[in-house]
């Protein structure tokens, strides 16, 4: 989406187009700490979850090699049900925590805990997303195994020889791709929990915040700390639709977040940040 990503709209009179340098409406350190802990836990568990898949892949490859059935490699398939269930629970847990963090941010800004409540991620979307992400990782293993099979399968080599070579190749794969996919899934969960909690409370001004990226690309620098709309607007969901900024060059690596600024809850005139320009926003 390079060159076509939506930029934030101009704010109404009286609302700052950009967060002041000293404004920190959200504790994103806590958001990042939660994310890193959950991601580390998933990455530790994933090789075990993938182990049964690898065995199933190798069994099928050995069978096709033994039968001399090259085209049969296209039928190699494995179940990702168990992995999807583990990922779904991790997403739900992190999304719930993200919603609670928004409530704490609102209370710190002067709202009551009764003004908004942590809203969990949408269950069906989370479950289906977990299935897709787990399926992506299974497909990655299958694709890697088939590619290596085609590379080492020579006339006269035994099925056991080919299996051993493919097994060694899979064992040597790094966790870079799983980290990318699982990290994207967890970012989606945090975004969902934060977003749904913000939308369930009093009206708030929403701003982009890109401080959590390890490497911030140009488009993310351009949107950083800018007003992207109010909670009741449609524009914020166009700029941050699922996880990070839609125009990020790093795609699913983006850790951009949306932060909310409340001023007196649902009284718009109290949270408008430029008193000298204060006008009716109705």
Note the pLDDT tens digit of each residue in 228-280: 888 888 888 888 888 888 888 888 888 889 999 886 444 444 444 544 433 33
pLDDT at 265: 43
CA nearest to 209, candidates 60, 20, 13, 11? 20
Q: Distance of CA 58 to CAs 63, 157, 173, 276, Å? A: 8, 16, 15, 70
Q: What is the pTM of this model?
A: 0.88
Residues of the chain with pLDDT under 50: 1-3, 264-272, 274-282
pLDDT of residue 5: 67
What pLDDT sits at residue 87? Answer: 98
Q: 164 Cβ partners below 8 Å, 6+ apart?
A: none
Q: Supply the pLDDT for residue 160.
A: 97
Spell out the domain ranges in the chain: 28-202
Q: What is the pLDDT of residue 4?
A: 61
Task: Find out whether 188 and 91 touch, Cβ atoms under 8 Å.
Answer: yes
> What pLDDT sits at residue 176?
95
């Amino acid at each position: 989406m390079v060159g076509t990503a939506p930029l934030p709209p101009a704010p109404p009179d009286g609302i700052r187009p950009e967060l002041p340098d000293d404004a920190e409406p959200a504790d994103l350190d806590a958001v990042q700490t939660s994310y890193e802990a959950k991601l580390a836990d998933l990455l530790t568990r994933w090789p075990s979850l993938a182990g049964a898949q690898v065995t199933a892949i190798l069994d099928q490859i050995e069978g096709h090699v033994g039968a001399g059935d090259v085209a049969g490699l296209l039928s190699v398939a494995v179940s990702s049900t168990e992995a999807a269930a583990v990922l779904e629970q991790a997403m739900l847990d992190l999304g719930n925590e993200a919603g609670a963090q928004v409530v704490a941010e609102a209370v710190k800004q002067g709202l009551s805990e009764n003004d908004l409540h942590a809203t969990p991620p949408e269950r069906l979307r989370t479950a289906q997303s977990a299935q897709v992400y787990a399926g992506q990782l299974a497909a990655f293993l299958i694709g890697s195994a088939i590619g290596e099979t085609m590379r080492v399968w020579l006339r006269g080599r035994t099925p056991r020889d080919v299996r051993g070579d493919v097994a060694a190749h899979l064992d040597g794969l790094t966790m870079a791709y799983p980290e990318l996919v699982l990290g994207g899934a967890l970012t989606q969960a945090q975004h969902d929990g934060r977003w749904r909690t913000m939308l369930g409370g009093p009206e708030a001004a929403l701003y982009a915040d890109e401080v959590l990226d390890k490497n911030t690309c140009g488009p993310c620098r351009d949107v950083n700390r800018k007003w992207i709309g109010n909670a009741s607007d449609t524009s914020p969901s166009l700029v941050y639709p699922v996880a990070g900024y839609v125009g990020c060059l790093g795609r699913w690596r983006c850790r951009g977040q949306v932060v909310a600024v409340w001023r007196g809850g649902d009284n718009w005139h109290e949270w408008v940040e430029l008193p000298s320009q204060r006008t009716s926003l109705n």
